[in-house]
Amino acid sequence: MYLSGSLCALSIVAAPAPPSASAGSGCGVVSGRTDVGGPAPALRYENVADSLGVGGDARAWGFSLRDIDADGMPDLYLGHHESSPRFFRNDLLGGGVFVEEHPSLPNWDDFAGADQHSVSILDADADGCVDLYQCVGSARGGRPGDNWLLSFQCGFDPIDLSADSGLLDPYGRGRTPLWLDFDLDGIADLLLLNALSAGNRSRLFRGLGGANFEEIVDGAGLPLDWHWVSGLAADLDEDGDSDLVLTATGVWLFRNEGGLFTDVTAASGINIVTQTDVAMGDVNGDGFVDLVGASFAASTDLIGQPVPEELKYELRLNGPALKGARFLCDSDSIWLNLVMLYAERPEVVWLGSGSVNPAELPLSLSADDPVLLGEPDLIGVAPGAFLWREPTGHWNLRVAGEGEVPGSFERSGGWLRFDSPIDSIETFELEIDAVTARPNHLYRGNGDLTFSDASFSSGFRDRQLQSRDLALGDLDNDGDLDIFVVNGGIVENLPDGLYLNDGSGRFREVSDGVGIPFQPRGSGESVGISDLDRDGRLEILVLNGGGFRPFVGPQDLFRATTRPGRWLLIALDQEAGDPTPLGSRVDLYAGGRRQVRWYDAGQGNRSQQDAFLHFGLGSATIIDSVVVTWPDGSSVRSIAPETDRTIHFSNNP
């Protein structure tokens, strides 16, 4: 039974049952635990990724924390760059773990073998069950790479809707699928942001109902031939429709005027000229959308560069003929560029008796690392450069291939053999041009699509690193939004940042003091904040896979070990046939203050947040009211709901 109408007093019967169980008085659905709250103690975290079943290394490239099987718990989808995606069903309620699911699909191998980029999960066809839209790479626009639209039927048995949906976009280099209802017809539309390549631009699709879409070729005024990376949709000027914030090498704002977009960046006060991921929320409690940006270097696809000069391993070899060797990244591996006296010759490089590619190794190896030890079996191997160390310390370099190469090498059986000791190798170290740290940004909204730069005054710009993604959430349940920033270095990983809000929109960085340790492995890529077990405490999921080789790192999942203050979760449900809730606004009044959340698709930099809206209440014991304003302007109000539980609303016409 769901809340409808303009005003309703809500009485609640506590329901210590899973979110699918509920009780109420005809005004709302209430579910979840009835944990006792209180003043927020010191915040502490522990990493529970392994114990909850989502640990391990991966080259993750996009994830979603959305409820796939309609049990009220956020499941986890991990997209992988050049490998099969993974689905994890959330079974945390009652002390369980994440359980990996293996969906059945007749053409699953085609889906699993696709080069997955960002993903978005929501009910695109209004049938009451979520759908999955997966952006797929297309070799820089050089070969087909169809995007996918899968209906999950409220479970893990998907149906492929791609071919008839109109959303394939085979040559687009999909970066972010941004769902919104830009024309306010109650049907989800899709702005597909593509990295510009070979004339394949971004595309705007209008939803027609069901799983049917049509392309709006002129983009409704949007410049679709730009190199867009990410974005968000929100009502930035309080006029009832969704405006757009889009990011490329900089940030642009577009006002929605009756379904047509106008570039208003110049007058907005936003001045960001670096590639930036942007999140939104009301950080200072004035009821307006604020924008928080994490900036990073524009080019991070290190091994996939058209000219492989981004990073290199260097080693110097003594001897009269071979002056040096340089490891270069390419699309599939690391190459050894042999710089000889009379010639230069690139070869795929393999190390040690296991013929290991350096792309699979850390960025620094000592010369006595076991992986470099022992002669490989060179019978029937593919062409390449093979380097290994004998137990005596003697080094060998052999290059497979045909043809003569000038130099004083011993040629034997089609191999070039260099037997002089390579005693100058001490370590294999990554060498790369220094990358300047980028500043993060915080702009306070004025409610009219203009913003004031509060980056320095808020304390959010105190530390400059290579930030990759960020997410907002009330991590200490004290009634204001905090910020978690994922940083990822080009050469090595960088510490992440947790910024606690003091209630006025000023932040202090507290990562070291709350149990968020530095992760030395991989390269930080994306972050999700969600109450995974619906107990009112927000967990933090961090992916360190980087998405590009040679960075391979683990998933970290941080759970609070302390019990913060009281809380409330709001779920805006979409039953079959309901209008999309995209663009809705929720205002909560408690403890003499107002908190606001905006319901959007939850997209970040290759991340998608939980659909449930979380409110921390601090020491407030009573909620005065909750007001939900739907995209069509109608609203519903819940009077004095109890704390420490989940309330569901649906917009039944």
pLDDT for 498: 95
- For 272-290, what is each residue's pLDDT tens digit? 887 788 999 999 999 999 9
- For 490-547, what is each residue's pLDDT tens digit? 556 789 999 999 999 999 999 888 999 998 877 888 999 999 999 999 999 999 886 4
Higher pLDDT, residue 409 or 512: 512
- For 190-214, what is each residue's pLDDT tens digit? 999 988 766 789 999 999 999 999 9
Q: What is the mean pLDDT of residues 159-164?
A: 93
Look at phi and psi of residue 92 and say left if phi exceeds 0, alpha if psi is from -120 to 50, else beta: alpha
Q: How confident is the model at residue 62 (pLDDT cuts 50, 70, 90)?
A: confident
Nearest to 618 by CA among 560, 568, 569, 561: 568
For 305-352, the DSSP string reads: -SS--S-EEEE---SSSEEEEEEEE-SSSEEEEEEESS-EEEEEEEET
Range with top average pLDDT, 108-122, 138-152, 301-315, 582-596: 582-596
Domains of the chain: 45-297+435-560 (2.130.10.10), 302-428 (no CATH), 566-650 (2.60.40)
Higher pLDDT, residue 577 or 138: 577
pLDDT for 297: 56
- For 563-615, what is each residue's pLDDT tens digit? 888 999 999 999 999 999 999 999 999 999 999 999 999 888 789 999 999 99
Q: Is 547 exposed, middle or buried, given 0-12, 13-18 or 19+ CB atoms closer than 10 A?
A: buried
pLDDT for 305: 34
Q: What span, in angstroms and rounded, lies between the C-alpha atoms of 163 and 607?
A: 25
pLDDT for 30: 36
* HEC assignment per residue over 521-582: CCECCEEEEECCCCCCCCEEEEECECCCCCCCEEEEEEEECCCCCEEEEEEEECCCCCCCCC
Higher pLDDT, residue 48 or 41: 48
Q: What span, in angstroms and rounded, lies between the C-alpha atoms of 3 and 51?
A: 38
Higher pLDDT, residue 278 or 296: 278
Q: What span, in angstroms and rounded, lies between the C-alpha atoms of 430 and 26?
A: 64
- Answer whether residue 68 shows pLDDT above 60: yes
Q: What is the mean pLDDT of residues 202-228?
A: 94
Q: What span, in angstroms and rounded, lies between the C-alpha atoms of 435 and 467?
A: 12
Strand pairing of 467-473 and 451-453? Answer: unpaired
- Answer whether residue 170 shows pLDDT above 70: yes
pTM given for the model: 0.79
Q: Per DSSP, which regions of 380-524 are E strands?
A: 385-389, 395-400, 410-412, 415-418, 427-431, 441-445, 451-453, 467-473, 482-487, 497-501, 507-509
